[in-house]
């Protein structure tokens, strides 16, 4: 990391955030941008529009960090106070920038919008601020030195914030003296609990280790994230890979994939690369697997369709499952998921058919097949595989999510 | 608000948050819970797992606020440091709680999971902490007095955090001296943009109004939340209803439903009450509507199944759509959604069939049917209705979510 830029903080401003009406997605996006430029973000702060509380938060951030990126509070209304508060901390009055006011008027006029006088406020800036023009909205951003920190103030509208950060913050970061790039590498793990995985890779997770290793959980998937700094991007990436190469042998078949892509993206990429068309027969997941696949743009090249066979009659009529199988083994059985997977291929005309049938609860569990028992089936070019997993009963939502993830993982495991 | 509890802050802990890998949704949820109990949240802070930076953030929050709710850092791995840091600030060593360790072992054993020794760490607590048991996971929470603040520490997994906050934080807030009972009432709105709705009900949304009125948006659905305090629950509820009765006439047909239930729950309740079986034919949503229905336990009484007809061939083979219709009008047309809805009823044997076909982007838009054009169909006991909506192109995820919500709303509108 740059000697001149040790730490960065992000400050999100707005009553709608602090009251829980809107989710702050700006801080996350900015953190990713900053990390890509080798800047470590150490804190996000969210405050409302109250000027006293905003001033305290902004002052503290500028005293702690070398770089503070603020979003929000640059609108034309009276509750937009980022300009005023920054001026107060910088110790001088706001100044009026005539070219900015002209640009705001031009922007509104080009869109046949009225030009309320309140927009004039958006052309005012704290002392010594550098004006950062906004081609996609009325609120210009600015950059100003406050205490030890460089403060960037962007509008809160995500679309405008992203454009302005790319136009003004990214080039500024790239020019920092001695900026040390960060690299990160992800290992996607499916199988163990977070505790079990943590135990296996415990020596890598100690505080202060370089590269840093962390684990995050989402819907039963675990992601091991390795973050390293280096002289240049290649050195940082090499440090990541060095740690990854020590961790991989500890994971065995738990290791599902590597990289930043989501599991759905990886599955779709694999199917597209191998030109394998896919269909599904979903019971307890009721379309969740198909919906996850279809999150990925371009999936239509391989995904043909699915049958959600919630009722047994639909398993029989729409997938051709033999009623005798249902009678003899029950809907949650590998015999039935085998027939469902085969039916998905035949009825929909796909090379790969995936199926799932399970007890997601809260009702429906038995001693033999308790809540959490989920059977899977996979048919690839006519060859059928089935398997059963017994998940802990962490609730209906978890079980359905986990089952859908299992099918995405099955694509990676079974389509070579 | 209680005299004894002027300000609250929320502290979210985890490297996955500060690196931008995961979005912090816990702070927003907690802010809404606290507001419902009359507690004003003035700041959210997000920090990583670094113990020095975590200690600074926790110490500062506990010096500023009367109540600090922390989430994350209670897992079994070494990078989970909330316990240690809280103990350090509280000024004493961690103590081991044997009953908690027993509960953790019981929890894992009941789910046939291994019991790694690392989980023992989760039974350690800061000095004077009150243990808050966790029935839905291994990490017990705790409450401890630090400086002027009461600190609640919850696990970061949203499902566990929510359950523990409802079990332990909400009752604690309700018992605060001078706490006034709170009532809340929700109006579910579908149709206008958030800005348009905000304009319509602007006089109700001024800061400091009693009862308070707020709007939250989720996937195109808007919820107007009215929160009132009163001497007792009945008085608070009456104040809510008084405001609701003034707002209702302003909403017209935008008003879809009232209450705390989700749209999926309302749709399933309606279908169960009217004994109407349902099936779907989903194209651009690819199972999302069916998956949302199936989130509701007991849905199997009415939901039979669906066809995800992503490819045109599947619309023809699995739903019986006439190829000539596809040829003449295109897959995104009311002619085709009419045939899909009828096909869903006939092929799956349901009284109600719902269908959707649209341009979710990023590709596939034309001048006549730009991205955001979505056609719907509904067939109830043989009678078919179709309609087309043109949504702003707020991205593939938004459009698919909005389309699935439209079908849930259609159940309420068309099943009397």
Q: Locate A27 and state its tokens.
A: 């801080």
DSSP assigned state of A362: S
Sheet holding A130-132, edge to edge: A130-132, A141-146, A149-154, A67-71, A8-13, A41-47, B41-47, B8-13, B67-71, B149-154, B141-146, B130-132
The nearest alpha carbon in chain B to A295 belongs to B397
Q: What is the pLDDT of residues B53-84, one digit of tens each?
A: 999 999 999 999 999 999 999 998 888 999 99
Counted across chains A and B, CB pairs separated by less than 8 A come out at: 292
- Which one of A40, A294, A331, A345 would you mutate to disrupt binding with B, by most B Cβ within 10 Å of its Cβ? A294
Strands (E), B21-60: 41-47
- Which one of B6, B18, B280 would you mutate to disrupt binding with A, by most A Cβ within 10 Å of its Cβ? B18
Q: Which of B111, B318, B396 sits opposite A297 (nearest CB)?
A: B396
The nearest alpha carbon in chain A to B51 belongs to A207
pLDDT for res A3: 47
| Sequence-separated (6 or more) residues with CB below 8 Å from residue A169 | A33, A69, A152, A154
Separation of alpha carbons B201 and A268, rounded Å: 45
Lowest mean pLDDT, pick from A308-312, A330-334, B111-115: B111-115
Lowest mean pLDDT, pick from A266-270, A360-364, B353-357: A360-364
Whole-number average pLDDT of chain A: 91
Q: What is the pLDDT of residues A295-309, one digit of tens each?
A: 999 999 999 999 999
Is there a contact between A321 and A333 (Cβ–Cβ < 8 Å)? no
CATH class (in words) of the domain with range A8-174: alpha beta
Confidence bin at B5 (pLDDT 50/70/90): low
Is there a contact between A195 and B138 (Cβ–Cβ < 8 Å)? yes
pLDDT for res A97: 97
Q: What is the pLDDT of residues A238-289, one digit of tens each?
A: 999 999 999 999 999 999 999 888 899 999 999 999 999 999 999 999 999 9
Q: Which of B53, B286, B295 sits opposite A294 (nearest CB)?
A: B286
Question: Cα dist. B248→A94, A258, B210, B245, B270 in Å?
Answer: 44, 52, 17, 5, 22
pLDDT for B282 beyond 80: yes
Q: What is the pLDDT of residues B211-248, one digit of tens each?
A: 988 777 776 788 898 888 888 889 999 999 999 999 99
Q: Which of B157, B286, B361 sits opposite A291 (nearest CB)?
A: B286
Instruction: Give domain limits for chain A.
Output: 8-174, 182-258, 263-414
Chain B residues within an 8 Å CB radius of A331: none
CATH of B182-258, one of 3.30.70.580, 3.90.380.10, 3.30.70.2860, 3.40.50.300: 3.30.70.2860
Q: What is the pLDDT of residues A120-179, one digit of tens each?
A: 999 999 999 999 999 888 889 999 999 889 999 999 988 889 999 999 999 898 788 766
Chain A residues within an 8 Å CB radius of B311: 300, 303-305
- Which one of B291, B346, B365 would you mutate to disrupt binding with A, by most A Cβ within 10 Å of its Cβ? B291
pLDDT for res B335: 98
Confidence bin at A69 (pLDDT 50/70/90): very high
Strands (E), A148-220: 149-154, 182-190, 212-218
Chain A residues within an 8 Å CB radius of B116: 195-196, 199
Separation of alpha carbons A98 and A101, rounded Å: 5
Percentage of residues in chain B having pLDDT higher than 90: 70
Q: At what angle do helices A312-319 and A334-348 cross, to 10 degrees?
A: 40
Q: What is the ipTM of this complex?
A: 0.76
Whole-number average pLDDT of chain B: 92
pLDDT for res B77: 84
CB atoms within 10 A of CB A325: 18
Angle made by CA atoms B240, B242, B248, in degrees to the nearest 5: 95
Q: Locate B4 and state its tokens.
A: 């004894």
pLDDT for res A193: 81
Greater pLDDT, B336 or A32: B336
Chain B residues within an 8 Å CB radius of A280: 308
pLDDT for res B179: 73
Mean pLDDT over B345-353 rounds to 97
What is the CATH superfamily name and number for domain B263-414?
CinA-like (3.90.950.20)
Chain A residues within an 8 Å CB radius of B288: 287, 291, 294
């Amino acid at each position: 990391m740059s000697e001149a830029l040790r730490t960065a903080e992000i400050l999100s401003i707005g009553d709608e955030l602090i009251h829980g009406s809107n989710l702050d997605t700006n801080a996350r996006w900015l953190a990713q941008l900053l990390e890509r430029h080798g800047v470590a973000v150490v804190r996000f702060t969210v405050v409302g529009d109250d000027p006293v509380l905003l001033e305290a938060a902004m002052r503290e951030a500028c005293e702690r960090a070398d770089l503070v990126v603020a979003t929000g509070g640059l609108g034309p209304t009276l509750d937009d106070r980022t300009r005023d508060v920054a001026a107060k901390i910088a110790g001088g009055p706001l100044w009026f920038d005539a070219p900015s006011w002209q640009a705001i008027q031009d922007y509104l006029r080009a869109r046949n919008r009225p030009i309320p006088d309140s927009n004039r406020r958006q052309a005012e800036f704290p002392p010594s601020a550098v004006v950062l023009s906004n081609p996609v909205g009325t609120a210009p951003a600015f950059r100003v030195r406050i205490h030890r920190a460089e403060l960037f103030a962007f509008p809160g509208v995500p679309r405008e914030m992203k454009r302005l950060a790319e136009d003004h913050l990214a080039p500024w970061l790239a020019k920092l003296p001695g900026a040390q790039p960060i690299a990160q590498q992800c290992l996607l793990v499916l199988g163990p609990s977070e505790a079990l995985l943590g135990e296996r890779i415990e020596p890598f997770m100690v505080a202060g280790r370089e590269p840093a290793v962390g684990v995050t959980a989402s819907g039963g998937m675990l992601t091991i994230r390795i973050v390293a700094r280096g002289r240049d991007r290649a050195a940082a990436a090499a440090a990541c890979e060095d740690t990854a190469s020590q961790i991989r042998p500890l994971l065995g078949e738990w290791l599902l994939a590597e990289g930043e892509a989501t599991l759905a993206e990886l599955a779709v990429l694999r199917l597209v690369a191998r030109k394998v068309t896919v269909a599904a027969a979903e019971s307890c997941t009721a379309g969740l697997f198909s919906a996850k696949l279809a999150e990925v743009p371009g999936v239509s090249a391989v995904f043909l369709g699915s049958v959600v066979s919630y009722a047994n009659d639909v398993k029989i009529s729409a997938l051709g499952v033999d009623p005798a199988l249902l009678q003899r083994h029950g809907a949650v059985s590998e015999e039935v998921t085998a027939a469902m997977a085969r039916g998905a291929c035949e009825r929909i005309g796909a090379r790969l058919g995936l199926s799932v049938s399970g007890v997601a609860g809260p009702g429906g569990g038995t001693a033999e097949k308790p809540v959490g028992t989920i059977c899977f089936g996979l048919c690839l070019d006519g060859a059928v595989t089935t398997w059963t997993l017994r998940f802990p009963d962490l609730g209906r939502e978890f079980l359905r999510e986990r089952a859908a993830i299992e099918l995405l993982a099955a694509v990676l495991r079974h389509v070579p």
